[in-house]
Structure 1
Amino acid sequence: MGVHFGISTLFVFCLLGLSANAKVFKITSPTGSDITSALLKTFNEACQFPTKATVMIPKGEYKLGEIEMVGPCKAPIRIALQGTVKADGNIKGKDFWVAFKKINGFKLNGGGVFDGEGNAAWRVNNCHKTFECKKLPISVRFDFVTDAKIRGITSLDSKNFHINVIGAKNMTFEDIKIVAPAGSPNTDGIHVGRSDGIKIINSFISTGDDCISVGDGMRNLLVERVTCGPGHGISVGSLGRYGHEEDVTGIRVVNCTLQNTDNGVRIKTWPSAKCATTASEIHFENILLKNVSNPILIDQEYCPWNQCNKQKPSTIKLVNISFKKIRGTSGNKDAVKLLCSKGYPCKNVEIGDINIKYTGADGPATFSCSNVSPKLKGTQVPKACSSPVPKLPGQK
């Protein structure tokens, strides 16, 4: 049977960014129904189609259980999510809700919503306090997805991370909206790791943990025009919690706004780390702060809930780091803190044109550092510190 497209259909395709020459596989389940089986069946059919294919989830609300959509597919494939898919309250299943795996040439768009229904789960989530905890499901996973573009999608009230990316290559997130309450634990907005060539641009993230978090093995990440807050800021790390971690390099965070966040732009590594990796070429530039606590932070003593031995310095090496053109207001007096490892002091840290103000009664704003001698350029408000770097054994 042929597929006929009228003028109105072509107009809708243009609005959704769909290709008129792609075969469309549409979910026809009634609104309010569970589409888990229908979506998996439809995806598998589209995945085996020999040319471009689109799976369309129309407007309306639908129930969706745990689902894995796995390639490789025979041709590029697109999911057009126009409606809202809602998770159930189950916290005893797998560690994900929706997963896209091993797909090359993938697109996800349509303006729809992934609603993780996380409110009930947050009350039993204690992973921020202990290693021994039940991992709640991540809302949307992208595992080993390449040449992909995710655009115009909303993630709401995830039980755990909203979006998790691992093993990706050449992947863009654009016009993404992520929303969860400030008190929701472990609800990182977008977590990326062990991937190469990811862009997160022109997006809004308001959640209970890091807006964007960068795990080990991440290479060549661009974060641009992202508004973050509330949340815990934009973070590289934490690094060093686990063994066999990989180096991090090529991280750029530019032209972003942070508002009412617990942290601003930060790098965090664990003491008593189980690996000796390097994080290098990490650059934050042109950042606007609005009532941000700890606006600029390197924390190599990151040890929440005393889950590590602080007496053993971090073995993660930080090299070629810069913070430039960062301005605005701080929520506390600790405007800049560079707390580097006494075992492996930070190397080549540059601070340029910083203007952060604090008006609290315990002010003024402060700039503190340890185990680092930052290179200073331009203006420094507050006045920059100067910390001698300890010599390692055997150095002259």
Structure 2
Amino acid sequence: MLDEMLRSTQQRAIHTRRRLSNAEARKSSSSRNFNVLHYGARANGITDDSKAFMAAWKAACAAVGAVKLQIPAGTYLIGPTKFAGPCKNVRSLTVNMKGHLKATTDLSKYVTGDDWVEFAWVDMLTLTGGGTFDGQGAASWPYNKCPTNKNCKLLPTSVKFIATSNTVVENIKSLNSKFFHIALVGCKNFWGKNIKITAPSNSPNTDGIHIERSTGVTIYRSVIGTGDDCISIGQGNSQVLLSGISCGPGHGISIGSLGKYQNEEDVRGLVIKDSTLAGTSNGVRIKTWENSPGTSRAVNMTFENIVMKSVANPIVIDQTYCPYSSCASKAPSRVILKDIFFRNIRGTSTTPVAVMLRCSRGVPCKNVNLHNVHLKYVGQAPVAALCMNVRATYSGTQIPPPCK
């Protein structure tokens, strides 16, 4: 009898400990999961949910350990929202975004320099979940004067990452940004996967992904169709890999424009490979401004295993870039281009000049290599190459024929 009582007491103690342990686990789990609905978000697409998002982020950023910010399915209207760190005690922070976020179309909500959604000064951030950033840009595009006016007021970028490190963005969509869809500025170690970016072909300055002053960036298996560059790589970038990109419509994949401002940082160590461009106005392009105010370098760049489908200008180096009707000076670009490799580029061109290498007369390009280029013109004229201020080297198949 005594033994049975002891066993019964022990079992009750074990069950009690288990209940307490499970309760602590649930409490610990709930203390690290932050749902925007619990902070007042309405998810009706009409009520401004910005404050609820910020309250949920503030709580998540102040938590400890592996933290999750939950944005469940639903439609959320938000204005400019800054998810800023550092989150000192957070080991990792996952934003699980299943919802459809809609940007306010009231431009007065965005003060000068404001973007729509910012992630800044955060380490070990993951943004995932299959949700959509909807910039609702069509209402703002008529106010974009940047294609014709260099002193224009910039519209907001949809999603900007500022000085983040060890960031993963996957299974996210961006729709109809007002300006750029996604921008990386001063980031280290950024991985983007299965990103889908969409805007009409006539939408102005809707670059898919813009990268600037960042290092260790990998973007792969992503589909981008916009009214501007699918991906643009600005100044100060190093160790950038773009792979498995499906681009079109848009202006192609661009390095630059470079050399517009004084004291720009160098670009080095870029690889763009295993990608397809369809119906774009350019393929792979390097562009630098005329009359560069300072000297910078763009070196060690490889474009490899790329398919062009009805692309207007498949391979371009343009060191006379000026998008306006006239530029103040015709002085040559001072951006140094060196060690550039085009390998296994094939497909069709909708213009007879499929390869254009227009380098600076002030600092001619050095060590430009083309290997196995096979680009056919879809029209009747023979396909051709145009070269200025460069002595390229050629190997393997060369269609169009090398410049003489």
TM-score of the superposition, structure 1-length normalised?
0.91
Q: How does 1:376-387 map to 2 (within 5 A)?
A: 376-386=394-404
How far, CA to CA, are the matches of 1:204 and 1:3 in structure 2? 40
Return 218-227 or 87-96, whichever deviates more.
Answer: 87-96
Distance in structure 1 (CA, Å) of the matches to 2:173 and 2:350: 29
Secondary structure at the counterpart of residue 51 of structure 2: helix
Q: Are 1:133 and 2:133 matched, yes or no? A: no
Aligned residues: 371
Residue 21 of structure 1 and its aligned partner are, at CA, apart by 9.8
Which residue matches 2:181? 162
Instruction: Tell me which amino acid in the other structure corresponds to 1:50.
Output: V
Determine which of 239, 247, 270 is the counterpart of 1:251.
270
Deviations 1:137-190 (A, max 9, x none): 000000000001000000000000000101100010100000000000000000
SS in 2 for 1:150: strand
Match of 1:26 in 2: 35
Question: For 2:239 and 2:329, how far apart are their aligned partners in 1?
Answer: 31
On the 8 A contact 1:130/1:307 being kept in 2, the answer is no
Of 329, 342, 359, the match for 2:361: 342
Provide the C-alpha distance between the structure 2 equivalents of 1:357 and 1:122, rounded to a whole number of angstroms: 35
Check the 8 A contact 1:316/1:344 in 2, yes or no.
yes
Please, which runs of 5 or more residues in structure 1 have no aligned partner? 6-19, 387-396
Partner SS for 1:4: helix
Report the CA distance shift for 1:54/1:373 in structure 2 as closer, same or farther (over 3 A).
same
- Cα pair distance change 1:287/1:38, threshold 3 Å: same
**Cα RMSD after superposing both structures:** 1.4
Q: Are residues 307 and 245 of structure 1, via their aligned partners in 2, closer, same or farther at CA, if it must alter by over 3 Å?
A: farther
For residue 51 of structure 2, what is the aligned residue in structure 1?
A: 37
Inter-partner Cα distance in structure 2 for 1:311 and 1:241: 13
Instruction: Tell whether 2:134 aligns with 1:119.
Output: no
Q: Deviations over 1:249-299 (max 9, x none)?
A: 011000000000000000000000111000000110000010001000000
* Residue number among 86, 90, 114 corresponding to 2:106 in the alignment: 90
Alignment partners' CA distance in 2, 1:291 and 1:278: 31
SS at match of 2:277: strand
Q: Amino acid of the residue matched to residue 147 of structure 1?
A: N
Query: Could you say if the C-alpha distance between residues 22 and 192 of structure 1 is closer, same or farther in structure 2, counting changes exceeding 3 Å?
Result: farther
* Aligned with residue 97 of structure 2, among 81, 86, 96: 81
Q: Which residue of 2 aligns with 1:17?
A: none
Instruction: Give 2:170's aligned amino acid.
Output: R
Counterpart residue number, 2:70: 56
Moved more, 136-145 or 306-315: 306-315
- Written as runs of structure 1 = structure 2, the 5 A alignment for 1:1-396 is 2=24, 4=26, 23-28=32-37, 29-32=41-44, 33-73=47-87, 74-75=89-90, 76-92=92-108, 93-94=110-111, 95-309=114-328, 311-361=330-380, 363-386=381-404
Aligned mates of 1:280, 1:341 — CA distance in 2: 15
Q: Aligned with 1:127: secondary structure?
A: coil
Does structure 1 retain, via aligned residues, the 8 Å contact 2:43–2:49? no
Q: What fraction of aligned residue pairs are identical, expressed as a percent? A: 43
- Distance in 2 separating the partners of 1:2 and 1:307: 68
* Counterpart secondary structure, 1:246: coil
- Mapped contact 1:366–1:382 kept (Cα < 8 A): yes
Structure 2 stretches lacking a partner, 5+ long? 1-22
- Quick one: distance in 2 between partners of 1:213 and 1:40? 30
How far is the alpha carbon of 1:91 from its aligned partner?
2.2
Mapped contact 1:21–1:52 kept (Cα < 8 A): no
Contact 2:310 2:378 in 1 (8 A): no
1:91-123 deviation digits (Å, cap 9, x = unpaired)? 231330000000011110000000000001111
SS of aligned partner of 1:263: coil
Deviation at 1:307, TM superposition (A): 4.7
Call closer, same or farther: CA 1:261–1:310 in 2, change over 3 Å. Answer: farther
SS in 1 for 2:65: coil
Aligned-pair CA distance for 1:245: 0.6
Structure 1 residue 364: deviation in Å?
1.7
* Larger fraction in helix: 2
Q: Counterparts of 2:254 and 2:137 in 1: how far apart (Å)?
A: 23
What is the DSSP-based 3-state SS (H/G/I as helix, E as strand, rest coil) of the residue aligned with 2:82?
strand
CA offsets 1:329-384 (integer angstroms, 9 cap, x no match): 111111000000000000000001000001214x2211110100101011100101
